[in-house]
Structure 1
Amino acid sequence: MRIQPARMAMMLLPLLAMTAQADQWADVQAKQSLSCGVYSDVPPFSAPNPTSRQLEGMDVDLCTALAKHLGVKLELKPLSGEARVPEVKMGRVDVVIANLAYTKTRGQQIQFSDPYYVAKEMLVVKAPLADKPRAYFEGKRISATKGSTSEQSIRMAGANPVTFQDTGSAYLAVQQNKVLGVVTNAMSAQKLVSQAKAGGVELGIVSEPMALEPIGVGMRLEEPAMLAKVNEALYAMDQAGEIDQIWNRWIGPDTEYKMVRQERTQKLSEMKFEALE
């Protein structure tokens, strides 16, 4: 049976569309540039320099290193927090590096590289309670910002979340003994403890995290070549010590955040953690 040319073209269109859509790495090579979405103003990850107004920060440096390892030029694209996933999903940026944590919902919309670090939701309490195990706080009232992953982690740990519009208000509830503690990310937790101490208040951090959040590079779904190239670059950056250097510059032990990088780049598929929604 002879198939008409017009019909043949119609049959081939879906296949051609799939081929074009599934070759993002070829597109990056063709244009010889990588568009990398970063926060528009969230220090220390990405924010305008007060003098030059150029974006700078940990994620900006990671984008720069990634583009270098991929052998292409870098095009930074500032984004709001809410736009990080949609901009990748719609193909308006090739990748996003904006302290982006893997969650179940995000994992259905975009694909993630292997994480280059693991963020932790930590419980900040008054100093006498800091040595208690996480299980001690089951059924207790714990504060967090409304709608945050911190709020989710409180529920996952079996405690009762009391939510506020910002971390400052959530911490005030601890001071007023309305809750036993406040949950926030490890960076903010360290900063909160330091600031409280300067004000004469002794706080501590419960050692066991409330939740783990793998942080990776976000990309479009079903782009295996792009995923492989980004992962290859991340492991090379780690082996060369570049990620450690960037980490220490922006959030390391000698900065106000005093963060120690404990995990190396690792396979997301092999991590043992309960993903947040």
Structure 2
Amino acid sequence: MNKTITSLALAGFFVTVAPGALHAEVLDDIRSRGSITCGVLNNLEPFGYLDPATREVIGYEVDLCRALAEHLGVTAEIKVVSSQARMPELLQGRLDVIVALISYSPERAEQIDFSGTYVADSFQAITTEGSGLETLDDIAGKRVSVIKGSFLEPLIQSKYPTATTVSFDDAATTFMAVAQGRVDATVQRTTQARALQLRLGDADNTVMLDPPITVQRSGFAIRKENPAFLAELNTFLAEYEESGAAQTLFDRWLGSESPFQLTRTFVVGSDIAE
């Protein structure tokens, strides 16, 4: 009888403990199957967008995913996700890693783990030439357009309570509101606004105001309880920076070799919570 009870107790112990003990890291799965599934955007130039000639997704983050895959010795599987669906897709196991300009926040960090920084993108106010606005602080008391539901609306209201925010459904409409004089200024992601300026070409009459209202850092995002995978991601980023590959990537998509002509002000692999 005692032997039976002891056996049952041990069996119960193993039922309780085994799931945790048998937890397989995502990194093991990636290496086992020989591929890594990256969730990327296809509507945000130059990070992830459709090449008009090939209809393939290209960009800064697509190249970064492929470089990560090469580092791991596997192939890159590119999966397009929306900004709204990227976290659910990750948490439900349909992605190995988000590489879709997901910016760090303490709230997000409670649900997912972030690697170090792989890009830091600023948000700036944009106005028209001759508007009389010369710096960011000049948006106080003005009508400012933002994308509906964006974190920028409460941020502007907090920093400039006399400004009136006017929301629109998408970045292009928000930008055109200032270009057409319907508002005094807009606040948008710098790269996104620059892409819209480039599309207007000679018809562009907008200028960006310094300093940025905020800077957000983005990194790889993965499911929690994968310490080996997180460590490997950070090792990759540190090596990518040290080898000069990070600067080459930046120059191609954002810097001297791109239409954006931006200057890099961040270190790849640096603390994302700075």
Structure number with the higher strand fraction is 2
Q: Distance in 2 between matches of 1:136 and 1:17?
A: 58
Alignment partner, residue 35 of structure 2: 33
Runs of 5+ consecutive residues of structure 2 not aligned to the other structure: none
Q: Distance in 2 between matches of 1:47 and 1:219?
A: 22
Return closer, same or farther for 1:136/1:28 CA change in 2, 3 Å cut-off: same
Return closer, same or farther for 1:240/1:108 CA change in 2, 3 Å cut-off: same
Alignment partner, residue 190 of structure 1: 194
Counterpart of 1:162 (choices 163, 166, 169) is: 166
Alignment partner, residue 240 of structure 2: 237
Superposition RMSD in Å = 2.7
Q: Distance in 1 between matches of 2:171 and 2:148?
A: 9
- The answer as to 2:228 corresponding to 1:225 is yes
Q: Distance in 2 between matches of 1:123 and 1:176?
A: 16
Specify the SS of the correspondent of 1:183.
Answer: strand
Q: CA deviation at 1:197?
A: 6.6
Q: CA deviation at 1:254?
A: 3.4
Q: CA deviation at 1:64?
A: 0.8
Matches within 5 A, 1:1-277: 4-21=6-23, 23-40=25-42, 42-50=44-52, 52-128=54-130, 129-132=132-135, 134-158=136-160, 159-175=163-179, 177-194=181-198, 198-199=202-203, 201=205, 203-265=206-268, 266-269=270-273, 271=274
Q: Distance in 1 between matches of 2:181 and 2:224?
A: 46
Q: CA deviation at 1:210?
A: 1.4
Specify the SS of the correspondent of 1:210.
Answer: strand
Q: CA deviation at 1:22?
A: 6.3
Return closer, same or farther for 1:5/1:207 CA change in 2, 3 Å cut-off: farther
Q: Distance in 2 between matches of 1:126 and 1:50?
A: 29
Return closer, same or farther for 1:116/1:175 CA change in 2, 3 Å cut-off: closer
> 1:86-142 CA distances to partner (integer Å, 9 max, x unpaired)?
11112221111112222344222211111112111111023354532x334345431
Kept after mapping to 2: 8 A contact 1:114/1:268: yes
Return closer, same or farther for 1:150/1:12 CA change in 2, 3 Å cut-off: same
Task: Using structure 1 for the length normalisation, give the TM-score.
Answer: 0.83
Specify the SS of the correspondent of 1:147.
Answer: coil
Q: CA deviation at 1:234?
A: 0.8
Q: Distance in 2 between matches of 1:140 and 1:253?
A: 34
Q: Distance in 2 between matches of 1:89 and 1:64?
A: 22
Q: CA deviation at 1:68?
A: 1.5
Paired amino acid for 2:102: L
Specify the SS of the correspondent of 1:113.
Answer: strand
Q: Which has the larger radius of gyration?
A: 2
Specify the SS of the correspondent of 1:76.
Answer: strand
Q: CA deviation at 1:184?
A: 0.7
Specify the SS of the correspondent of 1:239.
Answer: helix
Q: Distance in 1 between matches of 2:178 and 2:241?
A: 39
Q: Distance in 2 between matches of 1:173 and 1:52?
A: 31
Return closer, same or farther for 1:14/1:177 CA change in 2, 3 Å cut-off: farther
Paired amino acid for 1:137: I
Kept after mapping to 2: 8 A contact 1:174/1:182: yes
Return closer, same or farther for 1:200/1:219 CA change in 2, 3 Å cut-off: closer
Q: CA deviation at 1:63?
A: 0.6
Q: CA deviation at 1:211?
A: 1.7
Specify the SS of the correspondent of 1:34.
Answer: strand
How many residue pairs get aligned? The number is 268
